[in-house]
Amino acid sequence: MAKQDAQISFRATKEFKQELEERARQERLSASGLILKVLQAYLHPEQEG
């Protein structure tokens, strides 16, 4: 994977953040790692599988 040196931020509800963190724990990822995984799958669906 390429070096990750860019930063993106956005606002969300506290509830959303809690859900994100819980799901990330379940997948043994950081919240940022889970967001990156989800967005990569969205942007590059042909690479899924």
* Residue at 13: amino acid letter: T
Count CB neighbours of 33 within 10 A: 13
What are the sequence ranges of the domains in the chain? 14-47
pLDDT value at position 1? Answer: 61
Cα separation, 31 vs 23, whole angstroms: 8
Condensed to tens digits (0 to 9), the pLDDT of residues 1-49 reads 678 889 999 999 999 999 999 999 999 999 999 999 999 999 999 987 6
Residue 48: its pLDDT value, please? 73
Indicate the SS3 state at residue 30: coil
pLDDT of residue 3: 82
